[in-house]
Structure 1
Amino acid sequence: MTATAPSPVAPRLLLPGLLPPEPGLETYWVRPGGVTALRLDPGDELTVIDRAGRQIAEVTALAPSGTTGAALGITADAPATTLRSLASNGAGGEILKVLADAGVNPERTVAARLFGEWSPAGARETFTATEPADVFVAAPTRVMTVTDTEANPPSDLLLELRRANPRRRFEPRLPEPLAEPILDMRVDAATARGYEVKAGQYIQIIDVEGRQCSDFLAFGARQLDAGVERGLDATTTRYFMGNAYPQPGLFGKFYDQDMQPLVEVVRDTVGRHDTFGLACNPKYYEDLGYPGHVNCTENFNGQLDPYGIAPRKGWPALNLFYNTAFDDSNLLVFDEPWSRPGDYVLMRAQTDLVCASSACPDDIDPSNAWVPTDIHVRVYDAKRKFSMAISHRVTPESEAKLTKETAFGERTSKLTRQFTEYRGYWLPTSFDGHGPQAEYWACRERAAVMDLSPLRKFEVLGNDAEALLQACVTRNIRKLSHGQVVYSAMCNETGGMIDDCTVFRLGDTNFRFVGGDEYDGIWLRKQAERLGLDQVWVKDSTDQLHNIAVQGPASRDILRELIWTPPTQPAFTDLTWFRFAIGRIGDHNGIPLVVSRTGYSGELGYELWVHPKDAPALWDIVWEAGQPHGMLPLGLDALDMLRIESGLVFAGYDFCDQTDPYEAGIGFTVPLKTKEDDFVGRDALLERKAHPQRKPVGLELAGNEPAAHGDCVHVGRSQVGVITSATRSPILRKNVALCRIAVQHAEIGTEVEVGKLDGHRKRIPAQVVRFPFYDPEKLRPRA
């Protein structure tokens, strides 16, 4: 008998977030402080997973038998604290209704408690339903105090439900309405629907099953009544907004030919669309050999005819969820949409409108992933208020998160309307009545305060905490003292930078990792698993610690009378460079906070870290104390000037995962000679340091035209470098830039040219100079 090798399994397309990893598997999240309700049938298997560790779960099961928990074989003998709090707070209407229908008093509900204060990351418990049951899984929370050196911030739970009788693979699950809709209609696949919307009302366009294009048209209703057709106009919108398609925020409106706004984008969970390409039309299909194919243009003509709108051969439309781009040859290309099931765009009508929405019928190319599906439209009352937000995912598999305000937003929003989306939060770019230049000079000459709450904070706890950080960051964490902060890089196996960060040592086994990217926590957990470190927890504390920076020569004088520290902590005035103290505002009864001698301005400065509930009060106290010193608020535009002058790097500009710390200009964070322990990327960094290809330099440009991120840098015809960051330096009165350049051209005094247009038709003379441009000896921050 001859043995034959098994046939190799063909690689499978990876479509994160679109296909379940296995048939019959459903996944759900339980947010900290929240409750997720599921209906189980006999044989269904529920797994509760404590992803980050140290998060208690409360499980309550209600079944016809009436015994709480029996349907899952669990003993419910603890108070269901989160369910009870829903009743006392008047929240969770749907959940409370289920309890009421079952004759259960929510204020007396009990639960089985899973996991605990020291459950490992990834801990899981699995239960099988023996009868039909409504199951409630809660993630109880407690406030994390900033003075707690053994902090355990709350984290989410993951639920995996394996159905004994799997539902249809792509059973559409519409997201819950954002409010009570006044119009709730389905646009069936390959059709279109016309509808009217009043000024101020909200229009939600939902992709039911994902990857489905929906063309949107809107016309001013009052103009139509007067016999004048005024609809969304591509040229006018792009002229005013400066974007291919507007996004939520300051530049989020669509205009008509008369320069009047018709709709404003309020929320966008996709972030990838096409603006005013033609909706699919008969000619498109005819030219591809499909005469008579149903198309959006003719569907629109039929829907718009009752409103007196003349038919067209092709409608310019806002193509929601349609994935187009221009390639390097300026060719218009398209691919499958990015949208996931339930993704939506929410717009607000700026005037009375006649609208039309389609569910595109295109099944001959990737525009709908070759399978047209439904679109759903909801319209909400003008009296409702919805937060402005963009959606982001930390990994392709993650649940989408909408942009949030920081805890200081209540104060900063009273000082400006100039906000931009920054890593999942809204931050001011500049402040009304001041502007970037005034804010810049306030920081250089007096003092400025700014909101830096979007920084990602992670509590790294446990006996293996030091070992994990020692293996993941380039600095020698074993040398870090209690109360000390260190700036470091965190690299991947190739030496490329995942992020830069600061690490605070709160105790022998307690550290606080502060970076710029939410992925940092995922990376740290993966490394802990890879290294077999089972006595370490990485808990996200970003929403437990919001922070402001007080920077400038007067910052110490402003804060010295505000910050009290106990005898066990350093006095505020004794804090040296990269040290921190745990204290309070005013005296021992004041707001608890952490104060660190750190910053991102190149000036003397501090950062103040508090629980979000205390943020408005902290802002008020600091603001009042700063007024005699001429303090101003500081936005991102001014911060960019400050940090570039000081040679401080910024993720996505001066480094990425293809850039090592030496190329980013922070090679000082890699002590290869004195750090004997291995760390991720060490071997690659040894090789890169021995054979450098590129080097960071400062450039000083001739004339008054600034460089920009991504501009090419030339010596003769050849490109030798690229601009990573650039600004007009107010204090130097020159245009300066950070540049990554070939080592052969990195010597100070080298003459280069910054390419504009295509890099050949226009060049700005520049010279390699010493950097940081401002205070190159870095004496001022230590003054």
Structure 2
Amino acid sequence: MAERFRVAPGSVTAVTVFAGDRVEVVDQYGRQPAELTVLATDPRAVADAVPDAIPDTAASVLRRLEPGPDENGYAAARILTLLARHRVDQQRSTATRLFGEHSPAGSRAAFRVDADAVVLIAAPAAPMLLTADDPNPPSEVRVEVHRADPRRIEVPELPPPLAEPLFDLRIDAATASSYQVREGQFIQVIDVAGRQCSDFLAFDARSLGDGNEFGLDATTTRTIGGGAYPQPGLAGKFFDSRARPLVEVVRDTVGRHDTFALACTAKYYADMGYPGHVNCTDNFNAALSRFGVAPRQGWAALNLFYNTAFDAQHQLISDEPWSRPGDYVLFRASADLVCASSACPDDIDPANGWVPTDIHVRVYDSTRRFSVAVGHRLTPDSEPVLTKPTAFASRTGALTTNVTEYNGYWLPNSFDNHGPHQEYWACRERVAVMDLSALRKFEVLGPDAEALLQATVTRDIRRLSRGQVVYSAMCTESGGVVDDCTVLRLGDNNFRFIGGDPYDGIWLRTQAERLGLDQVWVKDSTDHMHNLAVQGPSSRDLLADLIWSPPGQPALRDLGWFRFLIGRLDGPDGPALVVSRTGYTGELGYELWVHPGDAETVWDRVADAGLRYGLAPLGLEALEMLRVEAGLVAAGHEFDEQTDPFEAGIGFTVPLKTKADDFLGRDALVERKAHPQRVLVGLRLDGNETAAHGDCVHIGRTQVGVVTSAARSPVLRASIALCRIAVTHAQPGTRVEIGKLDGHRKRIPATVTTIPFYDPDKTRPRS
């Protein structure tokens, strides 16, 4: 079994290897160069350690590394320390260059190791040019190490430190330890082996010194934050019983914890038939005694990684933790604290995966800088990807602190001094600007690019012209919707796929492999192309004076619906951008796609030019009202892999009669269209109460549908909802009831209507 290491674009990964090992470097997505540098204790032995790694180029990534106070800077400092230890001059470092501009996805370069060494693998990252005929965003490289002696396997027991720790503390299995931290310092609690719970306690140290115990209070925290437990973001603090914050959650790579049950007690084990079993409560009592904390029969702790939930009968249930080896939660102390952490000893149920293991605690200085983030895994065996700010964050962050984690990025919910309704009316009556950089962009390139898209999306891609955009669905073999998307044709063999799910790229690559299409590259360009939506009746007038179009490209005023142009901001020497006449609001509107390095410039120019038009920023809350009124669908609401495009209300994306070529899911969709069971309709509610996603829809006792999205419509002055309903009850004018509470104790009468609710003929975006 190979050890695997990830090399992110623009970064360096160090791997220790031994004589007899074999190293393979893999260009996962193709067209990504790599640089391999070998370090040996004796510089004269470098050539002998990995004999096939012959330096032939400057180590460009190594030469540009700079230490700094953030995580990237700390990682760079660690690599530079390695270079110094091996007596390598950073500015003269060399490497073996691997792969190239046209290397196929999955290309491999293998090297035999003849002597112990450290191998540095780098992935050079040049910015993707929006105006290039053949865009090629940088992508990650994978390293696989096949050990000659499995006993020398170098799988790290712990992830690398986020910065230089003030101290490391190992909590051995079935034990607990106490420790002190100062206000502003960071506490990282790491699950070493995975699926191991760790109770966490924290007390205000100053109050404790005065003889008063004020510790984490889960009930107070849940009441203030409105959730089961805080997560990174606006409501990310844990409070004591005085409603004073003690710790703030900065990062969480798991997202599944417990604040409802006590840390395990002697009574729990005795009642289960295990008297005398070691338990967290007794361990805490012993660990905290040195601080004068009174012992308790049970501690109401924050139980990190413990997988609990309440079922439909409101019973507390538990199962094995979600955490993997190296998963962690990072806190920031809001006061001087006395803390205690445990490695839970529970081995009589699934709480710790049946086998208790260690927990590790690291504390970092308050001067360090860590991004606020949630961890997401695209596949079960992939590393967590942390939430990122967009390139417009400095501008939106100056206007609001009300942000939320949305598909791996931080986006504003609403803006200070505006609010959702004012933002909504700005879009309906004037013009609004919104950061939509969380959309996933993939460059689909190569001679087989058209064939891949033709076989995976429902629209007829062969009919797509250069400069044209098409809205489509991408389905499973059974007809369920993987995602909805737009596809732009930039050239004969160049397409841009834009969807909402980061898994879209994996899905496309999997289908390319299944179909045997080896002349296509699917490259993720999300981080190389951030985008603003400029929407509203005045959007054309606002942008017309900003966007310059070169010969051969349409002027902005002449740009047709679902068309795009490649132009520049403020004349031929300005930043490059792509402008598409698309949107998600039901209004006339455009989307501006720019390189992150130009994002702030573009935002500032749009904001300045928008003053005369009454421009307002737009957040997710206002967008939800706009898109529900316009009958526009959202993943996880109107569609998922169990819902076909006809049921989701986007059946118009499936041209079964006119698209001659086969595509994934076609046979299933032919059957589903011929025998429809459910359809998406609108509901107009009586009165001013609102429905919610998941509410049941009834006729009498019988449930006939489910609410997928709902909003109170300002322009219609009514509460509205989108509903997936049985076709037998989909006739406009049908009276139904939306079930609240348990679905029967309260009902809201409603009437079935057609959708969209607003501008049903789409005259406004077409105008």
What TM-score range do you get, normalising by the shorter chain?
Answer: over 0.9
Alpha-carbon distance between aligned partners in 1 of 2:693 and 2:556, rounded to the nearest angstrom:
39
Q: 1:213 aligns with which of 180, 197, 222?
A: 197
- 2:231 aligned residue: 247
1:178-210 CA distance string (max 9 Å, x none) = 222223211111111111222222211111111
- 1:53 aligned residue: 30
Alpha-carbon spacing, 1:283–1:682, altered in 2? closer, same or farther (3 Å):
same
Contact 2:431 2:615 in 1 (8 A): yes
Contact 1:322 1:367 in 2 (8 A): yes
The answer on 1:100 being equivalent to 2:84 is yes
The answer on 1:83 being equivalent to 2:67 is no
Alpha-carbon distance between aligned partners in 1 of 2:115 and 2:289, rounded to the nearest angstrom:
55
1:394-444 CA distance string (max 9 Å, x none) = 111111111110000010000000000001100000000000000000000
Letter in 2 for 1:37: A
Alpha-carbon distance between aligned partners in 1 of 2:736 and 2:674, rounded to the nearest angstrom:
26
Letter in 1 for 2:759: D
1:633-674 CA distance string (max 9 Å, x none) = 000000000000000001111111111000110000000000
Q: Quote how far apart the aligned CAs of 1:512 are.
A: 0.3
1:491-540 CA distance string (max 9 Å, x none) = 01010000000000000000000000111000100111111111100000
Q: Quote how far apart the aligned CAs of 1:69 are.
A: 4.8
Q: 1:626 aligns with which of 604, 610, 615?
A: 610
The answer on 1:41 being equivalent to 2:25 is no
Q: 1:700 aligns with which of 669, 681, 684?
A: 684
The answer on 1:383 being equivalent to 2:362 is no
Alpha-carbon distance between aligned partners in 1 of 2:219 and 2:641, rounded to the nearest angstrom:
37
Contact 1:204 1:345 in 2 (8 A): yes
Pairing 1:275-290 to 2, within 5 Å after superposition: 275-290=259-274
Q: Quote how far apart the aligned CAs of 1:95 are.
A: 1.9
Letter in 1 for 2:15: L
Q: 2:642 aligns with which of 654, 658, 668?
A: 658
Aligned residues: 760
Contact 2:3 2:155 in 1 (8 A): no
After alignment, is 88-97 or 636-645 more displaced? Answer: 88-97
Letter in 2 for 1:46: V
Alpha-carbon distance between aligned partners in 1 of 2:340 and 2:388, rounded to the nearest angstrom:
31
Alpha-carbon distance between aligned partners in 1 of 2:579 and 2:346, rounded to the nearest angstrom:
58
- 1:66 aligned residue: 44
Q: 1:491 aligns with which of 463, 466, 475?
A: 475
Contact 2:250 2:373 in 1 (8 A): yes
The answer on 1:744 being equivalent to 2:721 is no
Letter in 2 for 1:381: D
Contact 1:185 1:376 in 2 (8 A): yes
- 2:577 aligned residue: 593
- 1:720 aligned residue: 704
Alpha-carbon distance between aligned partners in 2 of 1:157 and 1:670, rounded to the nearest angstrom:
36
Paired residue secondary structure (1:66): helix
Contact 1:60 1:68 in 2 (8 A): no
1:228-256 CA distance string (max 9 Å, x none) = 22221122111111111110101111111
Contact 1:184 1:377 in 2 (8 A): yes
- 2:749 aligned residue: 765
Q: 2:666 aligns with which of 682, 692, 696?
A: 682
The answer on 1:199 being equivalent to 2:183 is yes
Contact 2:253 2:374 in 1 (8 A): yes
- 1:339 aligned residue: 323
1:303-358 CA distance string (max 9 Å, x none) = 12222221111111100010111223322111111111111111112222221110
Q: What is the Cα-based RMSD across aligned positions, in Å?
A: 1.4
Alpha-carbon distance between aligned partners in 2 of 1:134 and 1:350, rounded to the nearest angstrom:
41
The answer on 1:296 being equivalent to 2:271 is no
Alpha-carbon distance between aligned partners in 2 of 1:568 and 1:84, rounded to the nearest angstrom:
41
Contact 1:172 1:209 in 2 (8 A): no
Paired residue secondary structure (1:259): coil
Q: 1:228 aligns with which of 203, 212, 222?
A: 212
Alpha-carbon distance between aligned partners in 1 of 2:390 and 2:570, rounded to the nearest angstrom:
24
Q: 1:465 aligns with which of 442, 446, 449?
A: 449
Alpha-carbon distance between aligned partners in 2 of 1:473 and 1:74, rounded to the nearest angstrom:
43
- 1:609 aligned residue: 593
After alignment, is 298-307 or 572-581 more displaced? Answer: 298-307
Alpha-carbon distance between aligned partners in 2 of 1:225 and 1:78, rounded to the nearest angstrom:
61
Letter in 1 for 2:128: M
Alpha-carbon distance between aligned partners in 1 of 2:138 and 2:23, rounded to the nearest angstrom:
22
- 1:420 aligned residue: 404
Contact 2:43 2:87 in 1 (8 A): no
1:28-52 CA distance string (max 9 Å, x none) = 0111111111121111011111110
Contact 1:172 1:341 in 2 (8 A): no
1:67-118 CA distance string (max 9 Å, x none) = 6554322322122211222269988222222222322222222222221111
Alpha-carbon distance between aligned partners in 1 of 2:22 and 2:522, rounded to the nearest angstrom:
28
Alpha-carbon distance between aligned partners in 2 of 1:280 and 1:62, rounded to the nearest angstrom:
49
Q: 1:522 aligns with which of 499, 506, 531?
A: 506
Q: Quote how far apart the aligned CAs of 1:381 are.
A: 2.1
Paired residue secondary structure (2:150): coil
Contact 1:489 1:499 in 2 (8 A): yes
Q: Percentage identity across aligned positions? A: 67
Alpha-carbon distance between aligned partners in 1 of 2:484 and 2:691, rounded to the nearest angstrom:
25
Letter in 1 for 2:621: D
After alignment, is 637-646 or 133-142 more displaced? Answer: 133-142
Alpha-carbon distance between aligned partners in 2 of 1:550 and 1:182, rounded to the nearest angstrom:
47
Alpha-carbon distance between aligned partners in 1 of 2:281 and 2:37, rounded to the nearest angstrom:
52
Alpha-carbon distance between aligned partners in 2 of 1:62 and 1:236, rounded to the nearest angstrom:
54
Structure 1: tracts of 5 or more residues without a match? 1-21
Contact 1:218 1:231 in 2 (8 A): yes
- 1:9 aligned residue: none
Pairing 1:424-435 to 2, within 5 Å after superposition: 424-435=408-419
Alpha-carbon distance between aligned partners in 2 of 1:169 and 1:65, rounded to the nearest angstrom:
25
Alpha-carbon distance between aligned partners in 2 of 1:370 and 1:463, rounded to the nearest angstrom:
52
Q: Quote how far apart the aligned CAs of 1:168 are.
A: 6.9
Paired residue secondary structure (2:309): strand
- 1:7 aligned residue: none
Q: 2:253 aligns with which of 238, 261, 269?
A: 269
- 2:389 aligned residue: 405
Contact 1:456 1:542 in 2 (8 A): yes
Letter in 2 for 1:206: I
Q: 1:114 aligns with which of 92, 98, 118?
A: 98
Alpha-carbon distance between aligned partners in 2 of 1:137 and 1:746, rounded to the nearest angstrom:
59
1:213-237 CA distance string (max 9 Å, x none) = 0001112222222322222112211
Paired residue secondary structure (2:148): coil
Pairing 1:538-617 to 2, within 5 Å after superposition: 538-617=522-601
Alpha-carbon distance between aligned partners in 2 of 1:229 and 1:634, rounded to the nearest angstrom:
45
Alpha-carbon spacing, 1:170–1:69, altered in 2? closer, same or farther (3 Å):
closer
- 1:18 aligned residue: none
Contact 1:269 1:392 in 2 (8 A): yes
TM-score (norm 2): 0.97
TM-score (norm 1): 0.95
After alignment, is 101-110 or 148-157 more displaced? Answer: 101-110
Alpha-carbon distance between aligned partners in 1 of 2:283 and 2:145, rounded to the nearest angstrom:
41
Alpha-carbon distance between aligned partners in 1 of 2:623 and 2:67, rounded to the nearest angstrom:
44
Contact 2:67 2:77 in 1 (8 A): no
After alignment, is 116-125 or 598-607 more displaced? Answer: 116-125
Alpha-carbon distance between aligned partners in 2 of 1:320 and 1:351, rounded to the nearest angstrom:
20
Alpha-carbon spacing, 1:61–1:169, altered in 2? closer, same or farther (3 Å):
closer
- 1:3 aligned residue: none
Letter in 1 for 2:22: E
Alpha-carbon distance between aligned partners in 1 of 2:582 and 2:422, rounded to the nearest angstrom:
22
